[in-house]
Amino acid sequence: MMKILLVDDHVLVRQGVRRLLSAIPSADIYEAATSYEALTVFRQQSPDIVVLDISLAGSSGLELLKRFLIENPNAKVLMLSMHAEAIYAARAVQAGARGYISKGASAEELVTAVLRVAEGKRYVEREIATDLAMKQFSGDGDLLERLTMREIEILRLLGEGKSLSAIAGTLNVAYKTVANACSLMKNKLAVERTADLIRMALEMRKN
């Protein structure tokens, strides 16, 4: 029996992923919507693998990943995300995830990723892995490596045309927090204007 803990704050996503993972004959699937619920189930059930959304309401999936690894350094965690950009996969793997797959991946690839990670192997979605390898080979993305995951998220939202106020609402943080993050990003990326950040965000989406 393979114990799978599925952590996502959207019930429809959990239902959809659960249905796909039910194709694994030995799967015993548990669900959690919050970090607190996830940690409780993790401690009680000692799952063989955790499928963890990188963006949880009111918290960060990467922070929860760190908590799992503190509880069990050998925890096998596959990050599931709406983000298909290579930088997110790189940060997740650096933080200790065994794999990364986007919500746009096929059902077959999701099952493959779960099985590979459960076996102790690593798995990054094929298209993202190719993009990641190309960026490492070419040296692209060095500037983005200077940013935190929160800053990358703000940059992505800027690229979607959201205002600072809208971004604050989306991330459930104060407007000042977003404004300060933009100032820090300008310093890190050596640009002067928010328009320059937006241009970089659009380039990141194209790449």
Q: Is CATH 3.40.50.2300 correct for 2-137?
A: yes
Q: Is CATH 3.90.70.10 correct for 144-206?
A: no
User: Edge-to-edge strand order for the sheet containing 77-81?
Assistant: 27-32, 2-7, 49-53, 77-81, 99-102, 123-124
C-alpha to C-alpha distances, 18 to 39, 56, 199, nearest whole angstrom: 19, 18, 38
Rounded CA gap, 158 and 178, in Å?
11
Tokens 């959690």 map to which residue? 32
Q: What is the pLDDT of residue 137?
A: 45
Question: Same CATH fold, 144-206 and 2-137?
Answer: no
Rounded CA gap, 112 and 123, in Å?
9
Question: Judging by beta carbons within 10 Å of its beta carbon (0-12, 13-18, 19+), is residue 179 exposed, middle or buried?
Answer: middle
Tens digit of each residue's pLDDT, the chain (207 residues) = 899 999 998 899 999 999 999 989 889 999 999 889 999 999 999 999 999 998 776 667 888 899 999 999 999 999 998 877 777 888 888 889 999 998 888 999 999 999 999 999 999 887 777 666 555 544 445 556 777 878 888 887 888 788 999 888 888 889 999 999 999 988 887 778 888 888 877 766 655
Domain ranges for the chain, please list them.
2-137, 144-206
Question: Which pTM was predicted?
Answer: 0.72
